[in-house]
């Protein structure tokens, strides 16, 4: 499990600042993911999450450092990397089948119409939109539009799927259903996925690794938390798992306090927390192993 399918190596993003200086959004940012892993980034607004995702997508470039995907440096956008944004970004004049088919024919330009349609249909079925192939985006609910976005992304069998807060505009029920779908599909297809979210429970449910970013400017990736929950976990009974509260508290504590004070912090081992290892400056992040955490009986009973 040490092979790096995605490797972000010491990247920084700087902009010209007011008065001739520079503003550093983030710097010395390292992370790696193995093939098939699901990674979620959490951090406060403005810390640079979307910028990191755009760099992975090839829509933006780092001011320093490199990003390697499957052994190759990123140069511009590619059909190897599919992006799903918060808003669905579908072509309004095309049907569901037309939107997914368009992506398929962009990737496999020599395929005939029948082959493109059959391939697109497979992914429309996978996201549960069978029967809605001929609808236009204006006839679809928000959740259905995001499903088309997911089908379109998966249909080009990308090396990575990049998702920028894909469910944040949806109501809670739809969001939950889509989280279930995405988890099922990613496990079934072994899809490597990098996702940004504001929702701690979404990250705990979906992610193998949770990346915690400090506040900007000058943000860094403070911790990589390895999810200690078993692969076979349900969204509804997530909170019943004995490691759940320790993990959730650790992330919430980070967001509430340590994301601001991180630079000055001396990391001490606290057995109540899921331990993580802080990256040394300029070195790749070390991922901590999951540890057994004592369940909190009061919380278990309360639920
Ligand atoms: N063209 C730009 N010039 C200067 N600063 C920028 C520019 N584009 C983005 N930024 C800054 O980069 C920071 C990170 O933005 P973003 O990646 O969108 O954050 P997040 O997704 O975490 O909310 C923001 O503080 C934003 O002001
Ligand atoms: Mg953003």
Distance from Cα 242 to the centre of ligand 1, integer Å: 38
Q: What is the CATH number of the domain that holds 175?
A: 3.40.50
Q: Is the predicted pLDDT of residue 104 greater than 80, yes or no?
A: yes
Confirm whether 238 is domain-assigned. Answer: yes
* pLDDT band, residue 280 (cuts 50/70/90): very low
Q: Looking at ligand 1, which residue's alpha carbon is closest to its atom 25? A: 46
Distance from Cα 222 to the centre of ligand 1, integer Å: 19
* pLDDT band, residue 263 (cuts 50/70/90): low
Q: Is the predicted pLDDT of residue 287 greater than 80, yes or no?
A: no
Residues with beta carbon inside 6 Å of ligand 1? 15, 23, 25, 43, 45-51, 216
Q: Considering its fold, how many domains does the chain have in total?
A: 1
Confirm whether 105 is domain-assigned. Answer: no
**Rounded distance between C-alpha atoms, residue 56 and residue 35, angstroms:** 15
**Rounded distance between C-alpha atoms, residue 271 and residue 281, angstroms:** 25
* pLDDT band, residue 285 (cuts 50/70/90): very low
List Cβ neighbours of 84 (8 Å cut-off, separation of 6 or more): 146, 149, 150, 153, 161, 162, 163, 164, 166
Q: Which residues pair with 9 in a beta bridge?
A: 66
Distance from Cα 25 to the centre of ligand 1, integer Å: 7
Instruction: Report the interhelical angle of 172-189 vs 142-155 (nearest 10°).
Output: 10
Q: Is the predicted pLDDT of residue 278 greater than 60, yes or no?
A: no
Q: What is the pLDDT of residue 23?
A: 93
Q: Which residue has better confidence, 226 or 191?
A: 191
pLDDT in tens, 57-103: 999 999 999 999 999 999 999 999 999 988 878 999 999 999 999 99
**Structural domain span for residue 275:** 35-52+76-80+158-302
Confirm whether 94 is domain-assigned. Answer: no
Confirm whether 66 is domain-assigned. Answer: no
Question: Taking all residues of the chain, what is their mean pLDDT, rounded to a whole number?
Answer: 86
Q: Is the predicted pLDDT of residue 135 greater than 80, yes or no?
A: yes
């Amino acid at each position: 499990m040490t092979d790096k399918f995605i490797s972000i190596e010491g990247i920084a993003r700087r902009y010209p600042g007011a008065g001739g200086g520079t503003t550093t959004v983030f710097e010395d940012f390292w992370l790696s993911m193995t093939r098939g892993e699901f990674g979620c980034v959490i951090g406060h607004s403005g810390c640079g999450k979307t910028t990191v995702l755009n760099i992975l997508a090839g829509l933006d470039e780092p001011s320093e450092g490199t990003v390697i995907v499957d052994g190759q440096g990123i140069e511009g956008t590619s059909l190897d990397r599919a992006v799903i944004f918060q808003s669905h970004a579908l072509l309004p004049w095309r049907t569901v089948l037309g939107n997914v088919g368009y992506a398929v024919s962009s990737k496999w330009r020599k395929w005939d119409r029948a082959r493109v349609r059959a391939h697109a249909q497979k992914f429309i079925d996978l996201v549960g939109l069978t029967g809605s192939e001929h609808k236009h985006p204006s006839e679809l609910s928000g959740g259905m539009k995001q499903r088309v976005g997911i089908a379109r992304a998966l249909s080009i069998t990308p090396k990575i799927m990049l998702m920028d807060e894909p469910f944040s505009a949806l109501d809670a029920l739809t969001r939950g259903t889509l989280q279930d779908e995405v988890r099922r599909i990613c496990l079934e297809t072994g899809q490597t996925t990098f996702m940004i979210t504001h929702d701690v429970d979404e990250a705990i449910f979906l992610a193998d690794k949770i990346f915690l970013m400090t506040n900007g400017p000058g943000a860094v990736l403070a911790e990589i938390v390895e999810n200690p929950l078993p692969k076979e976990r349900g969204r509804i009974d997530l909170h019943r798992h004995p490691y759940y509260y320790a993990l959730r508290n650790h992330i919430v504590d980070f967001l509430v306090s340590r994301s601001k004070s991180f630079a000055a912090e001396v990391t001490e081992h606290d057995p109540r927390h899921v331990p993580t290892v802080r990256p040394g400056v300029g070195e790749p992040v070390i991922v901590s192993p999951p540890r057994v955490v004592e369940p909190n009986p009061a919380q278990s009973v309360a639920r």
